[in-house]
Copies of this chain bind each other. A is one copy, B any other.
Amino acid sequence: MYNTVNQDILDELEGIVGKENMLVDQEEMIDYSHDEFSLSDISKFPEVVIKSGTAEEIAEILKLANRENVPVTPRGGASGLCGGCVPSFGGILLSLEKMNRVLEVDIANQMAVVEAGVRLMDFYEAVEETGLFFPPHPGEESAMVGGVIATNAGGARAVKYGVIRNYIRGLEVVLPSGKIIQPGGKLMKTSTGYNLVNLFIGSEGTLGVITKAIIQLMPAPEVMRSLIIPYDNLEKAIETVPYLIHRKILPLAVEFVPREVIEITAKFLRKQWPVSVGETFLLIIIDAASEDELDKMSEIIAEFCMEKEALDVFVADNPKKQEQVLEIRSKVYEAIKAYTLEILDIVVPRAEIAHHVKRVHEVSEDLQIWLPTFGHAADGNVHTHIMKARYENGTIIPLPEEEWKDKLAKVREELYRDCRMRGGKISGEHGIGIIKKPYLSYVLSEEEISLMRGIKDHFDPNRILNPGKIFD
């Protein structure tokens, strides 16, 4: 289907980027053969890794790849969970890691201009130095801006501040043809032709290589506070959310986490979770212009949650308590990662969360598989973890492959079916990649997929860019 990267091609690539920006040795390429998905059966080695420094170099590479019929897979921080940056057909792995400059934080225009290879942690730092604020917060700060855009990453703050899409105002993209375009600009609005910027956002590197982004910033909130609300069941917890909105409380984030996951994480971190009661917790983060306002909001939330059968309200009202709570919440993934087969990313209408999680529990029971489930209660994004271990009396017990292997596909099928029934989608913020591809037709119509394919064909007629992903 594709040609292999022969010596002539390697020589030509060397002419474009220089030998120092190429890897061909298997051992050196191992990191580039996978992302954070747990199973190695989707891993694939590229034939060559290229660390390109400019859009112009990338344009040359894509022209060459088109001419020689060699696939190109762009790669950012590789913190993805569904194989989106795995070079499924070998070929050229195009790493953006060297394009790591924050080019500008333009205060007057409230915009940052960054290269695609900037890591989120570095971007946050550069923005904070200027006193401005980049609201979205996908969990993994080692992610690179280009990848975050390519997957339309979300994070816990979407309920108040929206997802990445809402902040991307302009892009530089190298098209598969080798042409470079710069749709959008430092513009808060535009209605000038079809919105190409929004088409590239979430297209998982299949329509063009994002090399630069113009990102809108916001004024930073003055103060933040975390509240932990224990409940004896999830349904009551979830029901609280729309009522808060109705009382004009718009939290930065509302997370739900079951006690077992919190306990595992606290143990992992050797920290203490400050709330002793409750089987499930809402973690509500609020921001405001003043402590007074936070006090008022906290009071309304507390009053309201207690009315709705919350068991208690714990307020992390000083930085130390706040940090402790947020650290435990943010390390939940890490704490169980070694035993996690796959993290689902189902999104459903918010009012359906409790019903969906109930189904998760049923499937867990039926298939006898541990499925800890938590996520973003206010935006409907549920991260069910499919585990290769069981949890008994406070202990994680790893299981041999034969005990989970056949169950993986069954869990996916059951939960994606439930997701479809509730008007949901199979990815809220991670993307489709390789892993979710077989389930795309559960939630998209044939006609929708056919429109997507047509767009792909027009942008990349020889299908050289990130083949084997989404619907391909």
Interface residues of A (CB under 8 A from B): 106-111, 131-132, 151-154, 158-159, 162-163, 165-166, 175, 179, 181-183, 185-196, 198-199, 201-203, 207, 218-222, 242, 245-250, 288-290, 292-293, 296-297, 345, 347-351, 378-381, 423-432, 436, 440, 443-445, 447-449, 451-452, 454-455, 457-459, 470-471
Contact = CB atoms under 8 A, between A and B. Distances in A.
Contact of A242 (B108, B185, B445): B108
Contacts of A290: 293, 296
19 contacts: A109-B242, A109-B349, A152-B191, A152-B195, A158-B188, A162-B162, A166-B166, A175-B451, A187-B424, A191-B427, A191-B430, A192-B426, A192-B436, A193-B432, A193-B440, A195-B201, A198-B201, A222-B248, A289-B293
Given A108-B351, A110-B350, A293-B289, A196 B425 contact: no
A107 B246 contact: yes
For A198, A218, A443, A451, which residue has the most chain B Cβ atoms within 10 angstroms? A451
A83 to B, nearest CB: 14
Contact of A293 (B293, B351, B430, B436): B293
Contacts of A458: 451, 454-455, 457-458
Given A191-B427, A194-B452, 11 more contacts: A107-B246, A110-B245, A158-B188, A187-B380, A190-B427, A193-B449, A193-B471, A196-B451, A196-B452, A198-B201, A219-B246
B188 A159 contact: yes
For A185, A379, A432, which residue has the most chain B Cβ atoms within 10 angstroms? A185
Contacts of A378: 188
B219 A187 contact: no
A188 B379 contact: yes
A195 B200 CA distance: 9
B131 A289 contact: no
A165 B169 CA distance: 12
- Copies of this chain, tallied across the complex: 2
A183 B425 CA distance: 10
Contacts of A242: 107-110
A10 B27 CA distance: 71
A455 B194 contact: yes
A128 B218 CA distance: 27
A434 to B, nearest CB: 14
A428 B191 contact: yes
For A111, A192, A449, which residue has the most chain B Cβ atoms within 10 angstroms? A192
Closest 4 A/B residue pairs (Cβ): A454-B458, A198-B198, A108-B351, A186-B349
A51 to B, nearest CB: 26
Contacts of A440: 192-193
A175 B454 CA distance: 14
